[in-house]
Structure 1
Amino acid sequence: MGISLSKGQKVDLTKGNASLKKIGIGLGWDTNKYDGQHDFDLDASVFLVSPSGKVENDKNFIFYNNLQDPSGAVVHSGDNRTGDGDGDDEYVSIELDKVPENVAKIAFTVTIHDAPERSQNFGQVSNAYIRVIDEATNNELMRFDLGEDFSVETAVVAGELYRHQGEWKFNAIGSGFQGGLGALCNNYGLSV
């Protein structure tokens, strides 16, 4: 079991661990019982962000309709429409050495599909987490449990990888957004 992170905590990934080349980001969640008529469909999305703080083009927005970036460094496992079962609900593989130099950080987000129409929000989601795995050993390096701090939010930035002085670090974010995927896209400079 890896390091358990707190919100806002930053941890070195590659400094002192030069052999770490390929990592996996596992995202998971459960939904609480609720009386609505719709199933929950949560989606993990990834934003490859330039030093300006924005995504340079749509190809650097990785989600269920665009499963990898042009370099092939970031690959999404695909949409899990139910979230049933134990373990990671959605998964992203990253080859750190292949990430283009113009990518300063990689943000990992989760949104609720059609949340307003279905009257759903993250207050109805529990046990949400993001974890980092060393794909060579399949060992969990770190994990951030997002907690139950959300009520009306329909999107969450769970965490991000970022470059710092030539090394990769992980930041446990846990920041909620209203407005779902559209709000996140606008935040990262993409128009919807």
Structure 2
Amino acid sequence: MAVNLQKGQKISLDKEAGVKLTKIIMGLGWDAVKSKGFFGIGGSTPDIDLDASCIMFDEQGTQIDSVWFRQLKSKDGSVIHTGDNRTGDGDGDDEQIIVDLTRVPERVKSLVFTVNSFTGQNFSKIENATCRIVNAGNNKEVARFNLTTLGAHNAQIMAKIYRHGSEWKMHAIGEIGNGRTFEELMPQITPHL
């Protein structure tokens, strides 16, 4: 059973999964916008394009690499984005970032996951937005974090996965922000490193 994370909560990924994790999937999901017209006719609403990103940092908090819709693979190949979903249509994860923990270079101490509304809508207009961590080995959900919160923000710093001795831990940051890409959130990300 997956842990429903609260803002600020920290967990050991291995303990929650019950096994030593080697590969994880960060899944981002949200529901497509529904027409608001008379009986669903005539009132169109713009699509919502949420974007998941993963930024890799060293011990000093220096950015080493980033994976997002403009760069789908880290230079070392340990982190892969499966592609951009521009509407939230369909069931399950709308975007996924796969992290091979065994291939993440030793100098990478933390991976920060963000979500941004590239189309600019704020989260009060986005339904059922969640991020989840899945054990890629058995496809079992380890942790889930609800991103749907009322407010005028259009971005969130979701979580940080970081090395702690020989294991990987997760910190559900859940900090709201504004920006169409992760680059605009960097001043807010650095205090969490």
TM superposition score category, shorter chain reference:
0.7 to 0.9
Match of 1:99?
104
Once residues 153 and 64 of structure 1 are traced to their aligned partners in structure 2, the CA distance between those partners, rounded to angstroms, is 21
Query: Normalization by structure 1: what TM-score?
Result: 0.84
Write out per-residue CA displacement over residues 58-108 of structure 1, whole angstroms, 9 at most, x where no aligned residue. Answer: xx1111111111111111111011111221110011111110112111111
Higher mean C-alpha deviation, range 131-140 or range 175-184: 175-184
Once residues 7 and 32 of structure 2 are traced to their aligned partners in structure 1, the CA distance between those partners, rounded to angstroms, is 21
After the TM superposition, list the runs of 4 or more consecutive aligned residues in structure 1 that deviate by more than 6 angstroms: none
Match of 2:40?
none
Match of 1:129?
130
What's the CA shift for 1:185? 4.1
CA contact (8 A) 1:160 1:172 kept: yes
Once residues 156 and 45 of structure 2 are traced to their aligned partners in structure 1, the CA distance between those partners, rounded to angstroms, is 23
Match of 2:26?
25
Once residues 37 and 20 of structure 1 are traced to their aligned partners in structure 2, the CA distance between those partners, rounded to angstroms, is 41
The code of the aligned residue for 1:75 comes to I
- Are the structure 2 counterparts of residues 187 and 174 from structure 1 closer, same or farther at C-alpha, using a change threshold of 3 Å? closer
Write out per-residue CA displacement over residues 144-190 of structure 1, whole angstroms, 9 at most, x where no aligned residue. Answer: 11242x4121211111211112310011111111233242245557x
CA contact (8 A) 2:28 2:94 kept: yes
CA contact (8 A) 2:8 2:173 kept: yes
Once residues 5 and 147 of structure 1 are traced to their aligned partners in structure 2, the CA distance between those partners, rounded to angstroms, is 13
Unaligned runs of 5+ in 1: none
The code of the aligned residue for 2:90 comes to G
Query: Normalization by structure 2: what TM-score?
Result: 0.84
Higher mean C-alpha deviation, range 171-180 or range 83-92: 171-180
Match of 2:10?
10
Once residues 14 and 6 of structure 1 are traced to their aligned partners in structure 2, the CA distance between those partners, rounded to angstroms, is 18
CA contact (8 A) 2:28 2:132 kept: yes
CA contact (8 A) 1:54 1:188 kept: no
What's the CA shift for 1:10? 0.6
Once residues 87 and 108 of structure 2 are traced to their aligned partners in structure 1, the CA distance between those partners, rounded to angstroms, is 31
Q: Look up the SS of the partner of 2:63 in the other structure.
A: coil
Structure 1 position 112 matched with structure 2 position 113: no
Write out per-residue CA displacement over residues 89-129 of structure 1, whole angstroms, 9 at most, x where no aligned residue. Answer: 100111111101121111111111141xxxx2112112211
Match of 2:75?
70
Once residues 134 and 74 of structure 1 are traced to their aligned partners in structure 2, the CA distance between those partners, rounded to angstroms, is 14
The code of the aligned residue for 1:170 comes to M
Higher mean C-alpha deviation, range 122-131 or range 89-98: 122-131
- The residue correspondences of 1:1-192 to structure 2 (distance < 5 A) are 1-14=1-14, 19-30=20-31, 38-56=46-64, 60-115=65-120, 120-148=121-149, 150-181=150-181, 182-187=183-188
Unaligned runs of 5+ in 2: 37-42
Once residues 26 and 179 of structure 2 are traced to their aligned partners in structure 1, the CA distance between those partners, rounded to angstroms, is 24
Once residues 177 and 71 of structure 1 are traced to their aligned partners in structure 2, the CA distance between those partners, rounded to angstroms, is 29
